[in-house]
Amino acid sequence: MEPLSLTAADVAAAAGGRVIKGDPVSLIGRFAIDSRRVDAGDFFVAIQGERFDGHVFVGDALAKGATGVLVHAEMPPAAGDDSAAIVTIQVADTTRALQDVAREVRRRSGAKVVAITGSAGKTTTKEVVADFLETRHHVFRNRGNLNNHIGLPLSLIELRSKPEIAVVELGMNHPGEIRTLVGIAEPEVRVWTNVGDAHLGFFESPDAIAAAKAEILEQARATDVLVANANDTRVIARAERFTGRVVTFGIDTAADVAASQVEHRGLAGTAARLQVGEESFALHTPLLGLGNLSNVLAATAVAIQFDVPVSEIVERAAKLRPATHRGELLRLPGGITLIDDSYNSSPSALRQTLATLAVAQGCARRVAVLGEMLELGEHADRLHRESGRAAAEANLDVLITVGGAPAGAMAAAAIAAGMATAKVTHVPNREAAAELALRWIRPGDLVLVKGSRGIGTDLVVDRLKAEFA
């Protein structure tokens, strides 16, 4: 299939701007917003953010071979270059223009869009949905977690390749953000995984988070589908007002896609009896924990909407592998088993991971390196103390907490809940955590590394892998 081409005139029309330099019929290449990563032939969009203004770097982008730029209307026509061959498109707002172009590409591509939101599990659910759909369809999935008001448009512009289905994430940490993203993506299938405590520092309560996440329900057509978590009361209560059709998934509850007879297999993943309508299947996923079982159920519900047979879904589920730093199970030399969940963390996600650690068999000791969980605001101390108690209940032999005062509170709560003082240490940063972990970890240990991205616990993983390679 021929890819969708975009001319300078097409971009200007979609963005509500005008071509002020260059040939309007020139073809527009890959969109880029970071001048450091521009390749020859790219089209540079000068985004004006809180800390940086892309207009300052227009010259750098052109020096690296960009053949066109998108700039604010107030910039001079010759912004950054004197060559008449360089396409320059002026708009009132480059961020809004990027979003408008993305929406236009999304519409013209012919792709069906699956959009996923939730407090936890978005990226894993996205990857599993795409894996399931790829058994029968040509699928695009956004790279990494490009899920905000800039990352999502960049992803949707890649639909010029004309896939059948696009699977994307919608992220947020403030009200109104999901509404904007839904308006750009215009998804036919929406997935709401859960409401948790991530980003609680930006909201008054979990109910306020749920209200913001519920923007996923807006701007829906009667033919659209919502895939909703039947185990989450906040999700289900709000799903009732969805304009389209609701399909539910859940564990040990009534749902359209349901799992029962759940068997926790520790580091071997989870098994369950999968019920879809009148059909029943034996399901096993090597992904760790109940949270990932829920993600697999959500993905199953999506795949069924696109006529993927459940038998093929079950077969694919048994071969799933986690995304990088998102529950990866690594077997290191010396009999050390490392669970690399260092990409991010929240109190609810941490509790689920600790529960998996607690039932793991065949290890000499259970060791956890837990980073501070950010964006919890005034709830940080309480939630970290609750997490410390959960760590003690997980039968940990060693606990290292990393970060500021909340991480220190987590360590103190673990000791208060019964862990020996000598086995719990709080350190201020990832470098100290890595050094301590290298001293304490022994052959046969099972090691969990988890923390918010801003704490950088992935360094601990890298040091362990290098040391025990």
pLDDT value at 2 more than 80: yes
Identity of the residue numbered 140: F
For residue 384, the model assigns a pLDDT of: 97
More confidently predicted of 360 and 224? 224
Crossing angle (nearest 10°) for helices 8-15 and 94-109: 110
| Backbone phi and psi for residue 228, each to the nearest 5 degrees, phi listed first | -125, 145
pLDDT value at 99 more than 90: yes
For residue 82, the model assigns a pLDDT of: 56
Identity of the residue numbered 119: S
Q: Which two tokens stand for residue 157?
A: 């512009």
More confidently predicted of 167 and 207? 167
* Averaged pLDDT score across all residues of the chain: 93
For residue 84, the model assigns a pLDDT of: 63
Q: What average pLDDT does this structure show over 44-64?
A: 92
* Contact by Cβ (8 Å): 190, 226: yes
pLDDT value at 31 more than 70: yes
pLDDT value at 141 more than 70: yes
Q: What average pLDDT does this structure show over 216-225?
A: 97
pLDDT in tens, 356-375: 999 888 889 999 999 999 98
Domains of the chain, first to last: 8-92 (3.40.1390.10), 110-317 (3.40.1190.10), 328-467 (3.90.190.20)
